[in-house]
Amino acid sequence: MSETPLPPAPPLPVPDPVTAFFWEALREHTLAIQWCSRCERFQHTPAHYCFGCGTEELTSRTVSGRGRVHSSTTLLDPPGPAFVDRLPLTIVVVELDEQAGLVLAAEMPSGPAPIGTPVEAYFEDVAAGTTLPRFRPLANESDQA
């Protein structure tokens, strides 16, 4: 019996000691961003030291997952074999509400939205033990309560 081979799955993130908190939070369907309590600043992606003051004593904080579209692109050319059947694929760069300049990239399955569009994160369990953040437009202001 032969079946049509399935396309490969997208690559799965391999957490490391610095990034583990981020992936653990996503499994709980929350978004956590690395935090320096000295500088009182977030930074993303996680690093082993603070880009502001250099300390290695960093923690993380749960954030709202809300922000605004800083920019986007829609892929029509597969970036790898796993994405051949997943096009078009919109990627957004979102500036999170918590801090100016704090950006996070993720897929936005609903498609492109103009820069400045309010968006919120949601969570998709893509494999056993792996959850990815996605973004979607905030339906309207009253939904934010």
Partner 1 sequence: MSNRLRDQVAITGVGYSDLSRRPSASLGTLTVSAVDAALDAAGLRRSDVDGIATSPSMPRYGGRKGVEDGTDIVSTGYLAGRLGIADAITWSSSTTHMVTYSLIDAVHAIAAGACETVVVYRAVHVPDGRYISFDSTVAVGGDQFTAPFGFSGPPSWAGVVMRRYLDLHGYSREHLARFAVANRATTLLNPRAYWSGKPLTVEDYLGARMVSDPMTILDCDIPVDGAVALVLTSAERAASSGAPHALVSGYALGTQAAPRGVYMTLEDLWSGTERMGVRLWQSSGMRPEDIDVVQAYDGFSIFVPTWLEGLGFHARGDALGALAEGSGSLTGPRPVNTGGGSLGEGRLHGMTQLAEAVLQLTDQGGQRQVDGAGTAVATISNGLAGSTAFALRRP
Residues in touch with partner 1 (CB under 8 A): 8-16, 19, 23, 43-45, 47, 51, 70-83, 86, 88-89, 91, 93, 101, 103-107, 112, 114-115, 126, 130, 132
Which C-beta is closer to partner 1: that of 37 or that of 51?
51
CA atoms within 13 A on the CB side of 60: 21
- Residue 142 beta carbon to partner 1: minimum distance, rounded to whole angstroms: 27
Task: Give the integer Cα–Cα distance in Å for 26 and 24.
Answer: 5
Tell how far CA 47 is from the center of its chain. Answer: 16
DSSP state of 9: P
31-36, strands of its sheet edge to edge: 41-43, 31-36, 59-63
Which C-beta is closer to partner 1: that of 40 or that of 80?
80
Task: Give the integer Cα–Cα distance in Å for 50 and 77.
Answer: 36
- Residue 95 beta carbon to partner 1: minimum distance, rounded to whole angstroms: 9
- Residue 64 beta carbon to partner 1: minimum distance, rounded to whole angstroms: 18
Which C-beta is closer to partner 1: that of 16 or that of 57?
16
- Residue 133 beta carbon to partner 1: minimum distance, rounded to whole angstroms: 9
Which C-beta is closer to partner 1: that of 66 or that of 78?
78
Contact 92, 69 (CB under 8 A): yes
Which C-beta is closer to partner 1: that of 3 or that of 114?
114
Task: Give the integer Cα–Cα distance in Å for 1 and 57.
Answer: 57
- Residue 53 beta carbon to partner 1: minimum distance, rounded to whole angstroms: 16
